[in-house]
């Protein structure tokens, strides 16, 4: 089917401009030049009035993302699934019809690349949902063609597929209970299938031009021993390594991002797992608590990665409470969180709506995937939540809609913040503009100062004699940072480049300063 897709679209895309030849190999420096924008696809932007985010809507919003200052887009899955989040696929090769057509998809990739934006697809191969042909055609049928593709407890009779986390069926927010089964990742046929699949998304036309191909993948819930069941083991070497090798053989600049399953530092995924980037979960947890000791430890760890690797610095994702809700709406803490991810050594990531301060929490009372809708509400394009383009697909769910975190005219939208100099959105644009303009903020060394018992977090970025000093007070009491002699010529990068002496600075509670030698 993959080859058929490519052939069917070959004529349509013949006139598409060829992409520039990729670099020979991805590097740490190239990844540190990136700023990723993580999009929960269904909730981003609707183009046809059905209130579901779609490919045409995303394409229409690319200019705004470029203006924000991001360089790369990470999309949650767009494949068909009975679940609203599109994990647990029923077809790995096509696109959810609610999101558009394959032609819409290629129009999006062309538009993104024309703006210089990289595209990453989120992939989860370890499971399939009820309705996937591998499962429906083989369950209870000995000798079925796709029997080896599913992890059956009784492979001779294809009975009792191994369920996801030991639970045969899982509830969706719409009231349906849907079975999820584990894929047999030990099968050479399965490995070959997913190798061909990812190479296809990298090079859809199979001609090496890479036009309309994606720039890499996020691997969801990546593990070496899947779900610690001791049935699918040594996956880093036996399953993932051959797939990643094939992807890089087709496009050496392709990046592989791992969501490490333990939400830890991710060292094994960078080394044994062969991925290019992992997520800096410890930094997110430290910032959530505004704990200086933990922040400093996490910054030191996240700033160090093996050659050719990087860590993704983030505040939010689709599985965690939104940072603005975590800090109780405190703009000061939100700005510290932004500065200590966007200006640090690594690869920053912004979850859609984070830049305008969208709220959201997991609802512990909801016993379905609807518990996470609060983290995945419609991107706020304008003050009116009902305005055209708003992807309020969850409006029909009484719990999700009635308890929604983001409401019309709450000040939390692009339309309400775009032209305000003191808005959170403007602050994000300013930080991203600084990162883009100052090489020391992307490629420079990172030194942690103020190694004392105070609440001052002090980070010095430097490169080729140029320096940026980020000072943040993680506490509720004013503090004077205990800095070494910093020399002269410093200016405040957030205050019209006014001259400043670092030795005289006192940070108010949860205060932030960004100084530079420019």
Give Cα separations from 409 to 201, 322, 389, 416 (angstroms).
40, 19, 16, 8
Chain centroid to CA 479? 34
pLDDT band at 44 (very low <50, low <70, confident <90, very high): very high
Q: Mean pLDDT over residues 350-354, rounded? A: 98
Residue pair 380/393 in contact by the 8 Å Cβ criterion: no
> Which residues, including other chains, have CB under 8 Å from residue 449's CB and lie 6 or more apart?
458, 459, 460, 481, 483, 484
Across the strands, what pairs with 472?
Answer: 457, 512
- For the chain, the average pLDDT equals 94
pLDDT at 26: 84
> Which residues, including other chains, have CB under 8 Å from residue 476's CB and lie 6 or more apart?
509, 510
Alpha-carbon gap, residue 428 to 45, rounded angstroms: 21
Element (H, E) at 473: strand 466-473
pLDDT band at 510 (very low <50, low <70, confident <90, very high): very high
Which percentage of the chain shows pLDDT scores above 70?
95
Q: Under DSSP, is residue 491 helix (H, G, I), strand (E, B) or coil?
A: strand
Q: Under DSSP, is residue 192 helix (H, G, I), strand (E, B) or coil?
A: helix
Structure token digits, residue 385: 């939540």
Structure token digits, residue 218: 């996020």
Q: The pTM is what?
A: 0.94
Alpha-carbon gap, residue 462 to 440, rounded angstroms: 5
Minimum mean pLDDT range among 3-7, 247-251, 382-386, 512-516? 3-7
Which percentage of the chain shows pLDDT scores above 90?
94
pLDDT in tens, 438-455: 999 999 999 999 999 999
pLDDT at 25: 78
Give the CA dihedral 355, 357, 362, 365, nearest 10 degrees.
Answer: -160
The CATH classification number of 445-516 equals 2.60.40.1180
pLDDT band at 24 (very low <50, low <70, confident <90, very high): low
**Phi/psi zone of residue 103: left (φ > 0), alpha (ψ -120 to 50 degrees), beta?**
alpha
CATH fourth-level superfamily of 2-114+186-434:
Glycosidases (3.20.20.80)
Q: Mean pLDDT over residues 137-152, rounded? A: 96
pLDDT in tens, 83-133: 999 999 999 999 999 999 999 999 999 999 999 999 999 999 999 999 999
Alpha-carbon gap, residue 436 to 418, rounded angstroms: 19
Residue boundaries of the structural domains of the chain = 2-114+186-434, 127-184, 445-516
Alpha-carbon gap, residue 23 to 117, rounded angstroms: 16
DSSP letters for 197-266? HHHHHHSTTSSS--TT--SEEEEEEE-SSGGG-SSS--HIIIIIHHHHHHHHHH-TT-EEEEEETT-S--
Decide if pLDDT at 73 tops 80: yes
> Which residues, including other chains, have CB under 8 Å from residue 496's CB and lie 6 or more apart?
none
pLDDT band at 14 (very low <50, low <70, confident <90, very high): very low
Alpha-carbon gap, residue 89 to 404, rounded angstroms: 27
Minimum mean pLDDT range among 5-19, 397-411, 427-441? 5-19
Structure token digits, residue 405: 């975190």
pLDDT in tens, 210-265: 999 999 999 999 999 999 999 999 999 999 999 999 999 999 999 999 999 999 99
């Amino acid at each position: 089917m993959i080859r058929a897709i490519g052939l069917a679209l070959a004529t349509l895309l013949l006139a598409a401009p060829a992409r520039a030849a990729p670099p020979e190999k991805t590097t740490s420096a190239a990844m540190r030049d990136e700023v990723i924008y993580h999009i929960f696809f269904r909730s981003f932007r609707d183009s046809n009035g059905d209130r579901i985010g779609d490919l045409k809507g995303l394409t229409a919003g690319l200019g705004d993302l470029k203006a924000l200052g991001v360089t790369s887009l990470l999309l949650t899955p767009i494949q068909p699934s009975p679940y609203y989040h599109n994990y647990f696929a029923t077809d790995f090769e096509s696109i959810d019809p609610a999101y558009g057509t394959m032609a819409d998809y290629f129009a999006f990739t062309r538009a993104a690349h024309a703006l210089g934006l990289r595209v990453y697809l989120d992939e989860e191969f370890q499971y399939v949902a009820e309705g996937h042909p591998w499962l429906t055609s083989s369950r209870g049928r000995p000798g079925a063609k796709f029997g080896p593709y599913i992890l059956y407890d009784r492979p001779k009779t294809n009975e009792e597929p191994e369920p996801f986390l030991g639970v045969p069926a899982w509830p969706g927010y719409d009231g349906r209970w849907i079975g999820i089964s584990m894929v047999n990742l030990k099968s050479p046929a399965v490995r070959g299938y997913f190798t061909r699949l990812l190479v296809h998304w990298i090079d859809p036309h199979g001609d090496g031009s890479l036009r309309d191909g994606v720039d890499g993948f996020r691997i969801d819930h990546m593990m070496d021993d899947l779900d610690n069941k001791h049935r699918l083991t040594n996956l880093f070497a036996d399953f993932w390594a051959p797939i990643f090798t094939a992807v890089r053989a087709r496009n050496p600049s392709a990046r592989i991002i791992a969501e490490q399953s333990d939400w830890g530092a991710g060292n094994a995924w960078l080394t044994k797992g062969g991925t290019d980037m992992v997520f800096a979960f410890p930094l997110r947890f430290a910032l959530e608590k505004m704990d200086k000791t933990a922040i400093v430890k996490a910054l030191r760890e996240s700033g160090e990665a093996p050659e050719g690797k990087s860590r993704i610095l983030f505040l939010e994702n689709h599985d965690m409470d939104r940072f603005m809700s975590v800090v109780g709406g405190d703009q000061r803490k939100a700005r510290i969180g932004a500065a200590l991810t966007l200006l640090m050594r690594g690869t920053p990531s912004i979850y859609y709506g984070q830049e305008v301060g969208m709220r959201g929490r997991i609802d512990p009372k909801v016993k379905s995937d609807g518990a996470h809708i609060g983290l995945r509400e419609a991107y706020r394009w304008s003050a009116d939540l009902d305005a055209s383009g708003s992807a309020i697909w969850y409006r029909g769910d009484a719990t999700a809609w009635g308890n929604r975190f983001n409401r019309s005219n709450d000040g939390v939208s692009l339309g309400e913040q775009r032209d305000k100099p003191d808005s959170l959105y403007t602050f994000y644009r300013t930080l991203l503009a600084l990162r883009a303009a100052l090489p020391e903020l992307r490629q420079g060394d990172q030194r942690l100062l103020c190694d004392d018992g105070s609440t001052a977090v002090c980070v010095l970025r430097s490169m080729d004699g140029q320096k940026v000093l980020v000072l943040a007070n993680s506490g509720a009491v004013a503090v004077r940072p205990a800095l070494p002699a910093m020399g002269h010529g410093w200016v405040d990068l957030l205050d019209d480049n006014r001259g400043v002496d670092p030795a005289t600075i006192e940070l108010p509670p949860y205060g932030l300063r960004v100084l530079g030698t420019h």
